[in-house]
Amino acid sequence: MIERIESFRRRRPRLLEERVTLAHGAGGKASAALVDAVFVEAFRNPLLEPLCDGAVIDLPGGERLVISTDSFVVQPRTFPGGSIGQLAVHGTANDLAVSGAVPQWISAAFVLEEGFPIAELKQIAADMAAAAAETGVQIVTGDTKVVPKGAADGVFVTTTGVGVIPAGRDLSARSVRPGDKVLLSGSMGDHGMAVMLARGDLAIEADIRSDTASVSPLVESLLAAAPSTRWLRDATRGGVGTVCNELAQACGLGVLLDEEKLPVRPMVAGACELLGIDPLYVANEGKIVAVVAAEETEAAIAALRSHPLGADAAEVGEILEEPAQTVVVRTGFGGTRIVDMLVGDPLPRIC
Amino acid sequence: MIERIESFRRRRPRLLEERVTLAHGAGGKASAALVDAVFVEAFRNPLLEPLCDGAVIDLPGGERLVISTDSFVVQPRTFPGGSIGQLAVHGTANDLAVSGAVPQWISAAFVLEEGFPIAELKQIAADMAAAAAETGVQIVTGDTKVVPKGAADGVFVTTTGVGVIPAGRDLSARSVRPGDKVLLSGSMGDHGMAVMLARGDLAIEADIRSDTASVSPLVESLLAAAPSTRWLRDATRGGVGTVCNELAQACGLGVLLDEEKLPVRPMVAGACELLGIDPLYVANEGKIVAVVAAEETEAAIAALRSHPLGADAAEVGEILEEPAQTVVVRTGFGGTRIVDMLVGDPLPRIC
């Protein structure tokens, strides 16, 4: 969130509402306005300022730590390809990984509704344990609270991860330069669409599975092959479109995406068309957006494709001097359109 | 929670229920059973084992980190002496402090109910910021999720804290010896009783204020004056009685408490008597239980009393060889009674 805070400071969206709406949790413009007006306003202090670009902490011994937290409220709690337990580990580990950190330790806090089935809770814990083992992180501490029936919707899981950044790594939007290339590690929108269809209230049947996965191995192989990599982000809530907007705002440059190169599975594209949703805004849980130096593009793509999670990795755009702080998509017809941050909330409770 | 896990392994309470009850969140025996049967069972792995006594992590550079997390669901969200925002910072910072760590960084994750007033959210953030400033911690990252109206009760806040243990400090139940003294930094039950009365459904009027506060300065002055201090804990959910049981189980010895020496404010004692609740089980949010070496007892008490939060600090008991893993209270009438962990749930949603 902290890197987001930095960019929000540049183009402060205004919070106009008096009450929280679902859009405030969607990861787009309204979320930005809420975070800015409430949390940045309150928590800002001289000590916070140097930490702005990534919740990265210098320890006296020379280590650098990253701390990241996320609450998971996804509904339904299981869906094709994943569950709230897997998301809770992958989501937080991925936030660390795209900061350049090796995810190491995770805490898990549970708010449980009275009456929640113990068997389902055991399954969630088992999913978390499996995801942690696969990711190479340890779940080291936790907390359990119970609220009366009706005061929560089953279970909410909050995970916080701590990772260590190896010496010499410094990923930052500030290092992004015109001419750099934008890569995407695979197809867009699988997670969001899988969850939406799993809700069963759309008359669409399609075999779409969430892409929830730990991107840490992908990040490590990318950084080994393309050591000048500037910036990474996982494209979760708000999708690739919102993440690229955050990048544009944070680096002050333009991001040009090539629509025809953006990978989308045909089933997801079809469902998006039926629902009138742009896949650029649909959440992913196992995909990274990377800005790499032009001369390392081929090596970077090869490294991503060498991993099963990155088999469909592609160069999808580039960084331009102008239009500053803006994301532009070149369409298949040769025209261009501006892609803003997600504004509404097509997909509440996606993670 | 990890230290608790270690002790639970010794006297494994069995989880008999098929559904989560309010007692599972009360911090006593049922909570222990749930944590043991669900989370320890799932998360146990060779890597977790060495971390058992405190979620303490050795970094390559020689630093030791502590990670602690807590969700806050207190109802009502404001009460005499405090609010959910203050609790969310104090609670997590205190868990770090009693591990011997200097609390440093905190993450904050919010699950908000659609329709929650922005003004109240701003007040919570302001309370958190004030508590963080007073505690000397930085709120470095966060997350916001929104769930539909009815899917949560207003707001739940989860904070995770990371602190650094100075070299040479090693607080552990394993270092506790027969003859050591048990100290309590002040009166019992203020927080739990303040919240209970603030709910307004008891026909009791009393000027009782929560003791919510950062105990870190108290811990630092205690450890400076009594460097052989064995073990510390803040007596939150489950109260002093439950915390002493966890101590007894973890060190394998007996804990003898002297009822007449246990400080309780007259108002709290009166309310407890009217409600039939033992103040030993009522939550505190600014009190520590300390086990100190007998020869450092006087210095320890003087150090605690030198701080406003510890003005009523007292020696309240001692460590005995027998009865093993048991807490015994010597009553005013010269008899003794065994104090078990909290079993039921007199006080749901206390933090």
Comparing CB atoms, the residue among A21, A35, A140 nearest residue B114 is A21
Grouping H, G, I as helix, E, B as strand and the rest as coil, residue A105 is strand
d(CA A119, CA A142): 19
d(CA A217, CA A221): 6
Do residues A230 and A171 touch, judged by C-beta distance below 8 A?
A: yes
Say if residue B345 is exposed, middle or buried (CB neighbours under 10 Å; 0-12, 13-18, 19+).
buried
Q: What is the pLDDT of residue B57?
A: 85
Per-residue pLDDT of B326-339, as tens digits, reads 999 999 888 999 99
Residue A266: cis peptide before it, omega within 30 degrees of 0: no
Q: What is the pLDDT of residue B4?
A: 41
Average pLDDT in the A209-234 region?
97
CATH architecture of B55-170: 2-Layer Sandwich (3.30)
From A6-15, A89-98, A294-303, B7-16, the region with the lowest mean pLDDT: A6-15
Q: What is the pLDDT of residue A61?
A: 64
Interior angle at CA A294, CA A10 and CA A187, nearest 5: 75
Tell me: ipTM over 0.90. Answer: yes
B62 pLDDT tier (thresholds 50, 70, 90): low
A81 pLDDT tier (thresholds 50, 70, 90): very high
Q: What is the pLDDT of residue B107?
A: 95
Per-residue pLDDT of B234-285, as tens digits, reads 999 899 999 999 999 999 999 999 999 999 999 999 999 998 999 999 999 9
Does the beta-carbon distance from A140 to B48 stay under 8 Å? yes
Residue B138: closest CA among B163, B167, B111: B163
Do residues A180 and A292 touch, judged by C-beta distance below 8 A?
A: yes
Pseudo-torsion of CA A23, A28, A31, A33, nearest 10°? -110
Q: Is the pLDDT at B208 greater than 90, yes or no? A: yes
Please determine, looking at this structure, whether the domain spanning A173-338 carries the CATH number 3.90.650.10: yes
Average pLDDT in the A87-104 region?
96
Comparing CB atoms, the residue among B1, B133, B143 nearest residue A71 is B143
From A56-70, A137-151, B86-100, the region with the lowest mean pLDDT: A56-70
Average pLDDT in the A205-226 region?
96
d(CA B92, CA B87): 8
For residue A76, list chain B residues with Cβ-Cβ distance below 8 A. none
For residue A122, list chain B residues with Cβ-Cβ distance below 8 A. 37-38, 41-42
Compute CA distances B256 → A197, A329, B42, B50, B330, whole Å.
59, 72, 35, 30, 7
Does the beta-carbon distance from B71 to A158 stay under 8 Å? yes
Comparing CB atoms, the residue among B147, B160, B349 nearest residue A160 is B160
Pairing outcome for strands A102-113 and B138-147:
unpaired
d(CA B6, CA B13): 13
B156 touches chain A (CB under 8 A): yes
Q: Is the pLDDT at A13 greater than 80, yes or no? A: no
Q: At what angle do helices A84-97 and A118-135 cross, to 10 degrees?
A: 30
Q: Is the pLDDT at A3 greater than 60, yes or no? A: no
Q: B163 to chain A nearest CA, in Å?
A: 11
Q: What is the pLDDT of residue B343?
A: 78
Compute CA distances B66 → A38, A44, A153, B103, B158, whole Å.
28, 24, 31, 9, 17
Name the residue in chain B with its Cα closest to that of A56: B140
Comparing CB atoms, the residue among A45, A148, A348 nearest residue B22 is A148
Do residues A73 and A57 touch, judged by C-beta distance below 8 A?
A: no
Q: Is the pLDDT at A62 greater than 70, yes or no? A: no
Name the residue in chain B with its Cα closest to that of A6: B141
Do residues A156 and B111 touch, judged by C-beta distance below 8 A?
A: yes
B294 touches chain A (CB under 8 A): no
For residue A125, list chain B residues with Cβ-Cβ distance below 8 A. 38-39, 41-43
From A285-289, B52-56, B251-255, B312-316, the region with the lowest mean pLDDT: B52-56
Share of chain B above pLDDT 70, in %: 92
Q: Which fold has domain A54-170?
A: 60s Ribosomal Protein L30; Chain: A; (3.30.1330)
Does the beta-carbon distance from B160 to A164 stay under 8 Å? no
Interior angle at CA A69, CA A67 and CA A72, nearest 5: 160
Domain residue extents for chain A = 54-170, 173-338
Does the beta-carbon distance from B160 to A109 stay under 8 Å? yes
Does the beta-carbon distance from A25 to B132 stay under 8 Å? no
B15 touches chain A (CB under 8 A): yes
Listed by number, the residues of chain A in 111-130 with a beta carbon closer than 8 Å to a beta carbon of chain B are 111-119, 121-122, 125-126, 128-129
Average pLDDT in the A161-186 region?
94
Comparing CB atoms, the residue among A115, A126, A349 nearest residue B20 is A115
B204 pLDDT tier (thresholds 50, 70, 90): confident
* Residue B111 backbone phi and psi in degrees, to 5: -105, 115
A16 touches chain B (CB under 8 A): no
Is-same-fold flag (B55-170; B173-338)? no
Contacts of A254 (CB under 8 A, 6+ apart): A248, A319, A320, A321, A322, A323, A324, A325, A326, A327, A328
Q: What is the pLDDT of residue B7?
A: 40
A37 touches chain B (CB under 8 A): yes
Q: Is the pLDDT at B316 greater than 90, yes or no? A: yes
Do residues B71 and B64 touch, judged by C-beta distance below 8 A?
A: no
d(CA A62, CA A65): 10
Q: What is the pLDDT of residue A124?
A: 98
Comparing CB atoms, the residue among A18, A139, A349 nearest residue B147 is A349
Average pLDDT in the A179-207 region?
93
Q: What token pair was written down for A242?
A: 């919102």
A85 pLDDT tier (thresholds 50, 70, 90): very high
Q: A18 to chain B nearest CA, in Å?
A: 5
